[in-house]
Amino acid sequence: AVICHNDVCIENVVFSDETVVGLLDFDFAAPGRPVWDLAMTARYWVPLQDPISAAATGRDHLDPFRRVRVMADAYGADDEIRETFTTVLMEIEEVALRFVTQRVDQGIEAFISMWNDLGGHERHRRKMTWLAEHRSRIDDALAV
């Protein structure tokens, strides 16, 4: 079985002089599919986000289509991963939405703050619209 980290966001990676030296926070690690972990990671690192969300982290100038290709190539993604990537990415967005909103509904302050600070449902709608509009470009970028 493959163990996936499931949360390789920028805050969970340790750098030393621009070199990755560690990975933190394995509380979501679990058996899974490599395409899930790659797509989850690409959300944060490419980033595969709408321009407003990307601008919030100062990364709106990056080319997401070139970067997703570079990430998939560096990972050694096979045809199956490349062909299922965008479907899995859309699924991840829905799973992530349920995960966060459940915690918001439970009154967990850290999730409430994050949800409000990042734009809540409006941000999710923007991201999903952007992904749907650019799905074919992501697929083309990943094509072998």
pLDDT digit string (tens) for 20-41? 999 999 999 999 999 999 999 9
What does the alpha-carbon distance between residue 37 and residue 42 come to, in Å, rounded to a whole number? 8
Strand partners, 19: 16
> Coil, strand, or helix at residue 31?
strand
Confidence of residue 50 (pLDDT cuts 50, 70, 90): very high
If you ran DSSP here, which 8-state letter would residue 2 be given?
P
Asked if pLDDT for residue 1 goes beyond 90, the answer is no
Whole-model pTM: value is: 0.88
23 beta partners = 13
* Residue 24, SS3 per DSSP: coil
User: Strand locations in the chain, DSSP E?
Assistant: 3-4, 13-16, 19-23, 30-31
Residue environment code for 5-43, b if the CB has 16+ CB neighbours within 10 A, otherwise e: bbbbeeebbeeeeeeeeeeeeeeeeeebeebbbbbbbbb
Pure H helices in the chain: 34-45, 51-56, 64-75, 79-105, 109-118, 120-142
